């Protein structure tokens, strides 16, 4: 009964994320097209993620009044409109508006869709969230190839025009499927937004666990090609191939990471991911040969993406059903708002101290966060986890 709904949601999340990550392989093109500096281009990519963060808490409140699937449908329509605006941009300012709009649509989608997916499969939340995340990640994997392919035959604007058309079509399919397949009662609206705030300790923990590596990750992947060509001396083709690899590593990370989140002790698992991510960033900086760069790239991509289903499953397992969407909205809104500044911050830092120093600072910072959380867990225990929902 839920198979077609879940499958269509996976199709829509693919497009939602494609809109967000399409800007990364377009960074060099946007820079030359508009004569923009790395900091200015970084502001465009930053605005996508700022936009993805901004609506999350307001939408969390909206979900106490409106069923989740209504918000999902609305986000699909909003994505189509935002992609149309972006594809029509004739200036850097207009492009910034379009990027922000795409982000807003994506933020609304994830706040409603991730808890909805969790309710569709209550006995295997981690696995379902992981598969949904893998569908999202597939967009990131193929984005460089799609963008390069379109640029060979058309302009960068056409990337977003095609996205608009496809998003509208998939949203229409989802509308039809939802009319035919009833959803579980628990997948409806949350009951009380304020009650979700009673779980602030768990929310704060997950914000810290996700936002610290997420901040660094935003800067890393948006400037990956620029870093590899400018600092490591790689060809543009090889650098773009490694960008594809860093996202491709996210496919097994989501798929297996979600299943591990259902089986492993959750807090040690999250802390292990933090340590692995910080270490892999430092490994990238010291890597010199092609082989070591590939290994570091795979490691970064895998652990960065394994964090998402692990954190989502931990949070949703820690909360009662009538608070999950609202609490998830608060968590993701705060975390992503902080993460979204990573690209712009790294762009500014790279101009001042160089990419290597900026990456070292980011990786070391994540390791410090992991050490502090590990010490707290060893001394007094951290809140939340499987079986703690009231």
Q: Tell whether 130 is covered by a domain.
A: yes
Q: Tell whether 387 is covered by a domain.
A: no
pLDDT at residue 190, as a whole number: 55
pLDDT at residue 109, as a whole number: 96
pLDDT at residue 240, as a whole number: 84
**Residue numbers of the domain that contains 307:** 3-379
pLDDT at residue 193, as a whole number: 65
What's the sign of the alpha-carbon dihedral 279, 285, 286, 292?
Answer: positive
Express the helix, strand and coil content of the chain in percent, nearest 5 each: 85, 0, 15
Separation of alpha carbons 360 and 249, rounded Å: 22
Q: Tell whether 123 is covered by a domain.
A: yes
Q: Tell whether 277 is covered by a domain.
A: yes
Q: How far is CA 225 from the centre of its chain?
A: 19
Tallying the residues shown for the chain, one arrives at: 390
Q: Tell whether 384 is covered by a domain.
A: no
Q: Tell whether 390 is covered by a domain.
A: no
Separation of alpha carbons 383 and 295, rounded Å: 35
Q: Tell whether 214 is covered by a domain.
A: yes
pTM above 0.85, yes or no: no
Q: Tell whether 96 is covered by a domain.
A: yes
Find all residues with CB under 8 Å of 277, minimum gap 6, and list them: 213, 216, 217, 300, 303, 304, 307, 363, 366
pLDDT in tens, the chain (390 residues): 477 889 999 999 999 999 998 987 888 888 888 877 777 887 888 899 789 888 988 988 888 888 888 999 999 999 999 999 999 888 899 999 999 999 999 999 998 998 888 888 877 788 899 999 999 989 988 888 888 899 999 888 999 999 999 999 999 999 999 888 777 665 555 566 676 677 788 899 999 999 999 999 988 888 898 899 989 989 988 998 898 898 889 899 988 888 888 888 889 999 999 999 999 999 999 998 999 999 999 999 999 999 999 998 888 888 777 777 778 888 888 887 788 788 888 888 888 898 999 999 999 999 999 999 999 998 877 876 655 554
Query: How many structural domains compose the chain?
Result: 1
Report DSSP letters for 269-288, one per residue: HHHHHHHHHHHHHHHHHH--
Separation of alpha carbons 138 and 177, rounded Å: 23
Could you tell me the CATH number of the domain that includes residue 309?
Answer: 1.20.1250.20
Supply 246's token pair. Answer: 């860093």
pLDDT at residue 115, as a whole number: 85
């Amino acid at each position: 009964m839920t198979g077609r709904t879940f499958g269509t949601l996976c199709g829509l999340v693919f497009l939602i994320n494609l809109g967000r990550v399409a800007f990364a392989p377009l960074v060099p093109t946007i820079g030359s097209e508009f004569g923009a500096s790395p900091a200015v281009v970084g502001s465009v990519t930053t605005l996508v993620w700022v936009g993805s963060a901004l609506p999350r808490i307001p939408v969390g409140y909206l979900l106490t009044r409106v069923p989740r699937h209504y918000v999902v449908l609305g986000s699909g329509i909003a994505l189509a409109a935002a992609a149309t605006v972006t594809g029509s941009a004739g200036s850097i300012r207009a492009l910034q508006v379009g990027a922000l709009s795409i982000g807003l649509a994506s933020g609304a989608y994830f706040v409603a869709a991730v808890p909805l997916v969790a309710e569709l499969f209550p006995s295997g939340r981690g696995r379902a969230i992981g598969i949904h995340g893998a569908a999202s990640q597939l967009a990131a994997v193929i984005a460089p190839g799609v963008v390069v392919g379109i640029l060979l035959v058309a302009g960068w604007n056409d990337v977003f025009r095609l996205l608009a058309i496809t998003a509208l079509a998939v949203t229409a399919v989802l509308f039809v499927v939802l009319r035919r397949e009833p959803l579980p009662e628990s997948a409806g609206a949350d009951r009380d937004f304020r009650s979700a705030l009673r779980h602030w300790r768990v929310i704060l923990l997950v914000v810290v666990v996700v936002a610290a590596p997420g901040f660094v990750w935003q800067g890393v992947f948006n400037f990956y090609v620029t870093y590899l060509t400018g600092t490591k001396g790689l060809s543009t083709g090889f650098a773009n191939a490694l960008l594809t690899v860093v996202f491709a590593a996210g496919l097994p990370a989501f798929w297996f990471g979600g299943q591990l989140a259902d089986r492993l002790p959750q807090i040690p698992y999250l802390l292990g991911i933090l340590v692995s991510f910080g270490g892999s960033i430092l490994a990238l900086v010291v890597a010199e040969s092609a082989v070591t760069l590939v290994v570091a790239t795979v490691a970064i991509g895998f652990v960065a993406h394994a964090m998402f289903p692990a954190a989502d499953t931990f949070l949703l397992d820690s909360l009662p059903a009538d608070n999950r969407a609202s609490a998830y909205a608060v968590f993701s809104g705060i975390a992503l708002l902080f993460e979204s500044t990573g690209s712009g911050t790294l762009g500014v830092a790279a101009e001042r101290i160089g990419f290597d120093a900026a990456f070292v600072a980011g990786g070391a910072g994540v390791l410090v966060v992991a050490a502090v959380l590990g010490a707290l867990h060893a001394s007094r225990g951290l809140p939340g986890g499987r079986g703690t929902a009231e």
